[in-house]
Amino acid sequence: MNAAVLPEHSGLPAQVWLASRSPRRRELLQTLGLQVQVFLAQNTPEAEALEAPFENEDPLLYVQRVTQLKLNAALKAMREQEISGLVLAADTTVALNGNILGKPQNAAEGLQMLQSLSNNTHEVHTAVAGAWLNKNGAVDAEKNTVQTSHVEFALLPETFIHAYIASGEPFDKAGAYGIQGIAGQYVRHISGSHSGIMGLPLFETSELMRHIQTVAQATKRID
């Protein structure tokens, strides 16, 4: 029987708390062999309020700001519940010509987004922030990163756009599409990170976790 590759073999922690509702982020972390515990600091309305952009906010600054807010909220709730360990927060936004394309609120908005992305190239920014919270409620290490990919769509047929919207898939996804779903058949080219476009860039996230664990270990207070 072949031996398993464990997280410790690549310098990763065995377990991580994930402050995200995204099943895609959880699944991506699990591909690294990690035990992933989902920790939600806010209910849905509160979480959505954190993601509200400022007027004319730069997409790159927006995704970093929101991710830090999510991490701060998770740390506060973990202290209240006396939970310790490594926690990750993340946010993904789609940007076209400097404009943020969030999750469509209705079919008309989804239609407009998909039509604007059709036969065009857009950016996908995914920010990740992590921290190691010790048993005394102090942060031993903290780090954040952001990854940007460029995605080029071929021409999206109108029949596909309408059927895709009717399927309901676009409504919980930034930019009204998921590259891992059926819309992926129209992605002509990507430059960047496929996992980042899905919601969590594995290379950058792994580097972040290794850094946080190393710094936390250096404090000799790691839990």
Q: Is 118:151 a contact under the CB 8 Å cutoff?
A: no
Query: Rounded to an integer, what distance in angstroms lies between the CA atom of residue 162 and that of residue 195?
Result: 26
Residues 6+ apart with CB under 8 A from 93: 59, 62, 63, 66, 100, 101, 102, 124, 125, 174, 175
Catalytic residue among 58, 91, 172, 223: 91
- Report the residue count for the chain: 223
- Residue 114 phi/psi, 5-degree rounding, is -65, -40
- What sign for the dihedral angle of Cα 173, 179, 181, 186? positive
CA distance 81 to 133: 12
91 among known catalytic residues: yes
Q: Which residues are designated catalytic?
A: 91
